[in-house]
Amino acid sequence: MNYVIFDSTANMVASFDREKEAREALVEIIDLEPDTADDYVIAEIDEKGEIVHTIAGASVVEYA
């Protein structure tokens, strides 16, 4: 699996091999600008390049 952070305009911000790394990076991004939490999503992408799951940025911060 691959975990990709996208912003609200569907631009890829970063890509990671592990979900934990993606969550940590997103928390760091949102810590810099807390009002932007809803502007990001982590997408879990399978071997075929298809999105199988998404995690809203705000929910990542809530459980960090």
C-alpha closest to that of 29 among 16, 45, 40 = 40
What does the pLDDT look like over 13-55, one tens digit per residue?
Answer: 999 999 999 999 999 999 998 888 899 999 999 999 999 999 8
Which pLDDT does position 59 carry in this prediction? 81
For residue 64, is pLDDT > 60? no
pLDDT the model gives residue 50: 96
pLDDT of residue 27: 92
**Token duo for residue 17:** 């091999």
Q: Could you tell me how far CA 51 lies from the centroid of its own chain? A: 12
Query: Which stretches of the chain are assigned E, i.e. beta strand?
Result: 2-7, 12-16, 40-45, 51-56
- Report the sign of the C-alpha dihedral through residues 7, 8, 11, 12, in that order: positive
